[in-house]
Amino acid sequence: MNRFTSRRLADGREITYVDDPDAPVRSAVDTRPLGDRLPSGELRRDALVGDWVAVAGHRQGRTFLPPKDECPLCPTGRGSVPSEVPETSYEVAVFENRFPSYAPVSLGARSVDASGLFETRPALGRCEVVCFTSDHEGSFKDLPVERVRRVVDTWAERTTALGQLEQVEHVFCFENRGREIGVTLHHPHGQIYAYPYLPARTAQLLARAQEHQAATGRLLGADLLAAEQADGSRIVLTSEHWSAYVPFAARWPVEVHLAPHRDVPDLPALDDAERDDLAVVYRELLQRLDRYYVGPDGEPITLPYMAAWHQAPVRVGRDASRLHLQLMSVLRAPGKLKYLAGSESGVGGWITDVPPERQAARLREVAS
C-alpha cells in the first residue's frame, strides 16, 4: 500500500510524495523565490524522416553536476540551499522538471510555412523527475526490495495519471546512471516523459508488433520471449513471473531485456504478484551489472547504464503492444566506451562489439 500526496512548488509545479500510509503527512511549503514556471519549448517536424524534434533552449541553463551540498534532489535542510524537495526527508518523490523538454503550458502555437515543410507546434506534455531515495550516495541496486516495489508502483501510478492528460500520446519511464551516459545530477533518480506524439523508436516498435499480429494473430513480444526461452543461450535469469535475456540482435555492448511471462501492455497492468517479483528481479539485474566488469585492481566497476521501460502508447496499438524493460550500457570494456559514431549516428547501421551470447554468459556468471 502507498499513500500519494500531491503538493505545489513555489512556481506552481506539482510534487508528489509516495509513502507508507503510516508515514508523517507531507506539508512542507516551498519558500524559494522562483518566479513563474518555464513554459514548454516547441516541436519542429523533420521533413526528411517525418519525426518531431523538441527545441528547448532554456535547458542550456539547467543545473549541471553541482556540489553535494547544493544537490536539488536532496531533502531541504541537508545542504546549503533549499532544494526541489521542501520536505526534510522522503521515501520516493516525483516532481515536474524545472527545465522541461515538454511542459503543460506553452507560449507558442501551431504553424506551417508556405512550403509546407517547416511545421512547428508547442511541446505540450510533461517531464517528471523520480527521486528513488533521499540518500545522495545511494544507488537503485542498493535499495531495499520494499522501496524498489514502491518505485514500481510509482511508475505505474504516474503512467496512468499522465496518460489521462489530453495532449499525451506516450509515457516513458527511464533512468540514466553515470557521467558517461550524460547525467547532470548524481543523486539516484529517474525520469518520466509524457510525449504529445509517438517517438520514433516507439512508433517503430508498434509498427513491427502490429505487422506480426496481423500475420500470426499473436504478440511479437510473447513470441520473442518464447523463442529466447527455447534457445536458452541468451537467458540471464528466470523467476516465477519474469525472464531476462540478452536479445539475439543486441546493439549495445551490454544489453538485457526483462519481460513478464504474462501478456500485459504496460506497467499499470501488472498485478501485485508480478510487481513483488519485479522488485526482486530488477534489483538482482542491477547488482549483476555492477559486477559485470572488473578493474585492474580486481574491484568491480560501477557500470553506467540506461534503463528504459517500453510500454504501450496511451491511445493506439495497445492490443498489439507488450511491456518490456531494456537495460543497456555504453561501456564495452573497462575504460572503453562504445561511441555511436559514423555508421550508427549517420545511417543507423549498428555494429556490436560483444556477441550477445558472451554477454549472457557473463551475466549468469555474476549472479548473486
Q: Is 212 a catalytic residue?
A: no
Nearest to 254 by CA among 159, 168, 336: 336
Element (H, E) at 33: none
Q: How many helices (H) and strands (E) does the chain have?
A: 5, 17
Residue 14 to residue 94: CA distance in whole angstroms? 8
Residue 83 to residue 9: CA distance in whole angstroms? 10
SS3 247: coil
Residue 288 to residue 365: CA distance in whole angstroms? 9
Are 156 and 312 contacting, i.e. CB atoms less than 8 angstroms apart? no
Residue 132 to residue 15: CA distance in whole angstroms? 14
Q: What count of Cα atoms within 13 Å lies in the side-chain half-sphere of residue 124?
A: 16
| Phi/psi of residue 87, nearest 5 degrees | -70, 155
Residue 33 to residue 259: CA distance in whole angstroms? 45
Neighbours of 138 (CB within 10 A): 14
Element (H, E) at 243: strand 242-245
Tell me 123's DSSP state: -
Task: Give the type of residue at 65.
Answer: L
CA distances from 87 to 31, 147, 157 (A): 11, 18, 21
Task: Give the type of residue at 247.
Answer: P
* Set 170, 187, 189, 257: catalytic member: 189
Are 156 and 267 contacting, i.e. CB atoms less than 8 angstroms apart? yes
Are 232 and 244 contacting, i.e. CB atoms less than 8 angstroms apart? no
Cell of 326: 531494456
Are 281 and 325 contacting, i.e. CB atoms less than 8 angstroms apart? no
The residues annotated with a catalytic role in the active site are 189
